[in-house]
Amino acid sequence: MASAKMKIKKGDQVVVTTGANKGAKGEVLKVDLKNSRVVIQGVNVRKKHKKPSQQSAGGIENIESPIHVSNVALADPKSGEASRVGYKTLKDGKKVRIAKKSGETIE
């Protein structure tokens, strides 16, 4: 199955719309195109037990687990609320992403 294009990219500010972490906001750290999942900073945190090794002491670490992209929405740059993503072509021919709620461009 071919992976679909995602409108959310690494570095975007997003809002979780459903699930146990509903309402949480954070920055996208990693995007998995193959599985349509994103990792968000400070959201969906799990505990991972690590064995000691020569590089690290081991112990219990907190790691962010991926969330399906359908459960997150881009945060509007103006208000911070969840917004859909649209595309617009500027006069110089450059294609940019815009937040549908406010019409602001997304960097």
* Nearest partner of 70 among 11, 10, 4, 2, judged by Cα: 4
Structure tokens given for 2: 């071919």
Structure tokens given for 23: 């309402």
**Assigned domain for 43 exists:** yes
**Assigned domain for 24 exists:** yes
24: CB partners within 8 A, 6+ apart: 15, 16, 40, 42, 43
- pLDDT tens digits, 30-40: 999 999 999 99
DSSP conformational letter for 105: B
What is residue 2's predicted lDDT score, i.e. its pLDDT?
60
Give the integer Cα–Cα distance in Å for 8 and 28: 8
Q: To the nearest whole number, what is the mean pLDDT of the chain? A: 93
Domain residues for the domain of 31 are 13-80
What is residue 107's predicted lDDT score, i.e. its pLDDT?
80
**Assigned domain for 54 exists:** yes
- pLDDT tens digits, 55-70: 989 999 999 999 999 9
Residue 5 scores a pLDDT above 90: no
